[in-house]
Chains A and B, each alone.
Chain A
Amino acid sequence: MPDPPGLELIAQGIEEGRQGTVIETSMEHGRATLIVNPDGILHALTWLRDTPEQGYRFLSSLHAADYLPATPRFAVHYELLSRERIERVNVKALLVDPAAGDETNGADPVEKLPELDSCVALYPTADFQEREAYDFFGIVFRGHPDLRRIAMPEDYVGWPQRRDFPIGGEPVLFTHNEIEAPRWFE
């Protein structure tokens, strides 16, 4: 982990390239976090990857989380790793839910989804993981080469890992209740 001054230096370096990218820094349980503006995510990642003395060239994990009822509601976490110094830094892009405060109450047929730039060009490993975040949270990664659902069926409706998605809302077909769902095989 970078120490707190090191984290501030990183934040400063990113800010120099593009104003308003880093919103906040935090050190929690020894985990350094940069909270960044979603518009500047690619700038922050490129800077961390390509600045020689940083060298965070390995993306160990990309995952999303839903912070309901907080706003901004969603966050995409990038767990970056510098393998030379065994240092990890977490970049967290906070995303506002565009459907929040929607007056139409879901009547609009086009669902509004949070969007973020894809980092597959920077870190090819993000391919499956961005698809996973899209599948479970409905976060659209702009520029992803093949953004489809990955674990859920292709025709599935809804974003199951969101906090407002109920657990166990789906009927499961067993032999004993097969009779209640006539012609289920169609």
Chain B
Amino acid sequence: MADEILRDEGDITERGVERVTEDPSAPLVDLTAEIAERELEGPGLEPEQEVLTINVGPHHPATHGVLRLIVTLQGERVIELKPVMGYLHTGIEKSCEDKSYWKVIPFVERMDYLSYFFQMEAFCGCVERLVELEIPPRAQYLRVLHMELDRIMSHLVWLGTTALDIGAISMLWYCFRERDTILDLFEMSAGQRMHTRYFQVGGVFEDIPAGFERKVRDFLALMPSRIDQYEALLDRNEIFLHRTRAVGIVPRERLLELGVTGPLLRAAGEPWDLRKSPGYLSYGDFDFKIPVGTVGDGYDRYRVRLQEMRESLRIIEQVLDGLPEGPWIADDRKYVLPPRDELSTSMEALIHHFKLVTEGYRVPPGELYYPIESPRGELGCFVLADGSSKPARVHFRDPSFVNLQSLRDMSVGGLIADLIQNLGMLDPIIGGVDR
């Protein structure tokens, strides 16, 4: 029996001095002696007393990517947990330093591969503020439109995969059906289903095509009834309630200490949403609510996300109703490509086009941190400009990366099955964690 135990010696020695309870004020408990003693006794113990260290992942469907969790179990109880990441690290931030600003956009989209519009907005918004470029109102509305569609899309993927983890297999098909509708919309407006590179510094790449608005309205008419169907399947589902109710509760203060943002924090009862902060795109023009939970268990997290989808639908409807006419990209030739038709008639336009495509624009020296509200929480982009046409540093504060720290607080003391539920409800995107 003892031979079968997978041990990670390095972790056993390091484990000793950390917190074992969820209460942050609790004193640190030294478990080293106890664990060593138990392991010495080994086979003599009852199976449920034995301490077992196992790997969850890196390749496991329930880890939603390539995340490795070193879990120490006593029976079925999790007594220690350590996330190990980096399996998907691709050095995007480093690669960005070698690309001119407009070529960075496709790179940053691929970090968190479900919220690409948000990554683009974080980066483009940051550069726009560095060069002090105002974007036209129509561009702001189009950005909000696409970001909110993206938020629904991201939540749909989350709902499908997490419900699948918990055992509701049919949810995956229903959620991906609606997700496909949204991807069709993206394809129509931006030409690509994922990683669209639709946002540009100064606005958006193209105006929405004719017929796009009608398609979005069709979707708006359809989606609320679909959300009703999801709720009918899950809200009072016996298994779902047993798996999510009162599981993974972390006090609100502890979540704030851990820097957790987004639906996880809102589910714990904290109405914190950056969309309501002043001066962030044109969100001030729209009427929407911030859904909050009460206890912050898995069920609240689920309810908050579903309600967020409804609020996003309301925002999209208001965007379409109030979509201003006018240009969709700023008219600053130093940063924005001239219109195609001018190239054959205007020498100036040709020169600008040539300069922008070959060297790219230069951004005056400076640095800025620009946070936005992504489907998973605060997504911040830090750009350091050194005066050349390439950024000296691009850093993303990814919400999945920071939120992942709370997994330990959620899971220690619970069952291993709840660990999978907690990880699902946390909704980490490993592309964003590892970058």
- Tell me the A residues contacting B by CB distance below 8 Å: 28-31, 57-61, 63, 65-67, 77, 79, 83, 86, 88, 90, 123-129, 132, 136, 145-146, 149-153, 160-161, 163, 165, 167
CB contacts (< 8 Å) of A86 on chain B: these are 277-278
In the bound assembly, the distance between CA atoms of A161 and B258 in angstroms comes to 25
21 contacts between A and B (CB under 8 A): A29-B129, A29-B132, A29-B366, A58-B256, A60-B259, A60-B371, A60-B397, A61-B371, A61-B382, A63-B395, A65-B392, A77-B369, A86-B277, A124-B24, A124-B258, A124-B259, A126-B259, A128-B404, A129-B402, A151-B89, A160-B94
Given contacts A31-B368, A65-B393, 20 further A-B pairs with CB under 8 A are A28-B366, A28-B368, A30-B129, A60-B380, A61-B382, A63-B395, A65-B382, A77-B382, A90-B369, A124-B259, A125-B257, A125-B258, A125-B402, A128-B402, A129-B401, A136-B93, A145-B17, A163-B97, A167-B95, A167-B98
Task: Indicate if the CB atoms of A65 and B395 lie closer than 8 Å.
Answer: yes
CB contacts (< 8 Å) of A161 on chain B: these are 93-94, 393
CB contacts (< 8 Å) of B93 on chain A: these are 136, 161
Contact with A along B74-113 (1 / 0, CB 8 A): 0000000000011001010111011000000000000000
CB contacts (< 8 Å) of A30 on chain B: these are 129
- A119 CB to closest chain B CB (Å) equals 12
CB contacts (< 8 Å) of A146 on chain B: these are 14
In the bound assembly, the distance between CA atoms of A153 and B85 in angstroms comes to 10
In the bound assembly, the distance between CA atoms of A167 and B94 in angstroms comes to 7
- B308 CB to closest chain A CB (Å) equals 19
| Contact residue among A66, A67, A79 (Cβ-Cβ distance under 8 Å from B380) | A79
In the bound assembly, the distance between CA atoms of A165 and B97 in angstroms comes to 11
Q: B300 interface residue, CB < 8 Å from A?
A: no
CB contacts (< 8 Å) of A151 on chain B: these are 85-86, 89, 434-435
Give the residue among B93, B97, B378, B402 with the most A Cβ atoms within 10 A. Answer: B402
CB contacts (< 8 Å) of A127 on chain B: these are 405
CB contacts (< 8 Å) of B382 on chain A: these are 61, 63, 65, 77
Task: Indicate if the CB atoms of B256 and A57 lie closer than 8 Å.
Answer: yes
- A36 CB to closest chain B CB (Å) equals 16
- A164 CB to closest chain B CB (Å) equals 12
In the bound assembly, the distance between CA atoms of A168 and B228 in angstroms comes to 50
CB contacts (< 8 Å) of A132 on chain B: these are 401
In the bound assembly, the distance between CA atoms of A146 and B16 in angstroms comes to 12
Q: B18 interface residue, CB < 8 Å from A?
A: yes
In the bound assembly, the distance between CA atoms of A161 and B405 in angstroms comes to 23
| Contact residue among A31, A59, A149, A150 (Cβ-Cβ distance under 8 Å from B369) | A31
CB contacts (< 8 Å) of B277 on chain A: these are 86
Task: Indicate if the CB atoms of A61 and B86 lie closer than 8 Å.
Answer: no
Give the residue among B272, B369, B434 with the most A Cβ atoms within 10 A. Answer: B369
CB contacts (< 8 Å) of B18 on chain A: these are 145
Q: Which residue of A lies closest to B384 (CB)?
A: A65
- Of residues 242 through 282 on chain B, the ones whose CB sits less than 8 Å from some CB of chain A are 256-261, 272, 277-278
Q: Which residue of A lies closest to B14 (CB)?
A: A146
In the bound assembly, the distance between CA atoms of A81 and B257 in angstroms comes to 12
CB contacts (< 8 Å) of A167 on chain B: these are 94-95, 97-98
In the bound assembly, the distance between CA atoms of A51 and B168 in angstroms comes to 49
Q: B206 interface residue, CB < 8 Å from A?
A: no
In the bound assembly, the distance between CA atoms of A125 and B91 in angstroms comes to 23
- A168 CB to closest chain B CB (Å) equals 8
Q: Which residue of A lies closest to B277 (CB)?
A: A86
Task: Indicate if the CB atoms of A152 and B393 lie closer than 8 Å.
Answer: no
In the bound assembly, the distance between CA atoms of A167 and B93 in angstroms comes to 11
| Contact residue among B367, B393, B434 (Cβ-Cβ distance under 8 Å from A66) | B393
